A = this chain, B = another copy of it.
Amino acid sequence: MTRTLRVLLPLASLLLLAAARSPQAGPGSGKDRAEVVLSRPGAVAYAIAIHGGAGVISKRLPEAEKREYVRSLEAALRLGQEALAAGGSSLDAVEKVVRFLEDDPKFNAGKGAVYTHDGTHEMDAAIMRGRDLACGAVAGVTTVKNPISLARLVMERTSHVLLVGPGAERFADAMKVPREPNAYFDTPKRYKEWQEALEKERRKAAGSGETHGTVGAVALDRHGDLAAATSTGGTTGKRYGRVGDSPIVGAGTYADNRTCAISATGAGEEFIRHAVAHDISALMEYGGLTLQQAADRVIHGKLKPGDGGVIGVARDGSIALVFNSEGMFRGAADAGGRFEVKIWE
């Protein structure tokens, strides 16, 4: 390195760092933002965000049904918040939240997973810890009651990251993880959606306007560790062992203590080709953007309207909830007293 560069490079880095830290600098300025910086000097912050899927969510959703969704999201958010407030790890918190949403038949993950083309259920999940980039994922499992917990076992008990299909079920047996017959995942609502999808296929109608019900959670704990978790039944009528972005580390799920934790929901293939979760992390790490700016850039600048959204928590405890679809079931809570659940706007 030349002498000049040896002097100028650290200077440049310092300037960029200062710019990145300035709350008003950089792209995305002026946009509406949900960002709250929690890391007051001396305060030990925590933060959590959750989602229950993004897509076309009709604003004419019956009031009773809407209340049901809000109640479930609030209960899930409170579970995670309480775990974090008590000093629990972000990894435990996001697993706990996602398990809760998997067991809730309203969401497309675990009980309530959508139907494949053939009328079965194939589920995917991933979990990641930002401290050491440890991660685990499963794809195409058909009998595992809580795929997110199997993903965590892949992370903690194997040297692998991703197990798929019947092999993942054999691993579940080896780990004595609860399994259910595939019919356990049947629900009337998803059955109706499947029938409609088959009918559309017969009429060769476009399959637009789909609601993606993937669930996910991201959190920062009092120890400064980030974690992310995502679980899904995929898309109604999917064929040929299709796997989306949820179990793909870097696409639907990512966590790195140097930047942020991300969980995505939406048109999985778009999230894979844009490596959405890792791209947001990279924009923070190399581009000096805040989480909100990075998420805005990727969701509004790279994806197409309607593709979906992400939830994220940054290392400083700021939260971003960004989507380009009509709605996203979501919630956010932090040590500063924030506790909110929303569907639209």
User: Measuring CB to CB, which residues of chain A are less than 8 angstroms from any residue of chain B?
Assistant: 1-2, 5, 8-9, 11-13, 15-16, 18-19, 22, 24-26, 29, 128, 133-135, 139-140, 158-168, 170-171, 174, 238-244, 248-251, 254, 268-269, 272-275, 278-279, 282-283, 285-287
A9 touches B2 (CB 8 A): no
Q: Which B residues touch A9, using CB under 8 A?
A: 15-16, 19, 25
Return the chain B residue nearest A141 by Cβ.
B241
Question: Interface centre among A8, A29, A287, by most B CB within 10 Å?
Answer: A8
For the complex with contacts A163-B243, A171-B240, 19 further pairs of A-B residues with Cβ separation under 8 Å are A1-B26, A2-B24, A2-B25, A9-B19, A11-B15, A12-B16, A15-B15, A133-B273, A139-B164, A159-B269, A162-B243, A162-B248, A164-B165, A167-B240, A168-B241, A170-B241, A171-B239, A248-B248, A250-B250
Contact of A272 among B2, B25, B135, B163 (CB under 8 A): B135
- When distances are taken between beta carbons in the complex, the residues of chain B under 8 Å from A18 are 5, 8
A238, B163: Cα distance in complex, Å: 10
A272 touches B249 (CB 8 A): yes
Is A164 in contact with B167, judged by CB distance below 8 angstroms? Answer: no
Q: Which of A9, A11, A164 has the most CB of B within 10 A?
A: A164
When the two chains form their complex, are residues A273 and B134 in contact, meaning their CB atoms are under 8 A apart?
yes
Across the interface, do A286 and B282 meet the contact criterion of CB distance under 8 Å?
A: yes
Copies in the complex: 2
Q: Establish whether residues A269 and B160, one from each chain, have CB atoms under 8 Å apart when the complex forms.
A: yes
Q: What is the interface of chain A mostly: helix, strand, loop, or mixed?
A: mixed
User: Contacts of A254 on B, CB cut-off 8 Å?
Assistant: 275
- Partner pick for A1 among B15, B29, B287, CB 8 A cutoff: B29
Contact of A272 with B11 at beta-carbon distance under 8 Å, contacts A24-B2, A286-B282 already known: no
Q: Which residue of B lies closest to A12 (CB)?
A: B15
- Among A161, A166, A244, A251, find the residue whose CB has the most chain B CB atoms closer than 10 A: A161
Q: How far is the CB of A277 from chain B (nearest CB, A)?
A: 9
A-B contact pairs, 17 of them (CB 8 A): A12-B16, A140-B167, A158-B242, A161-B272, A162-B272, A163-B241, A164-B243, A165-B166, A168-B241, A248-B249, A249-B251, A250-B278, A254-B275, A278-B278, A282-B286, A285-B286, A286-B287
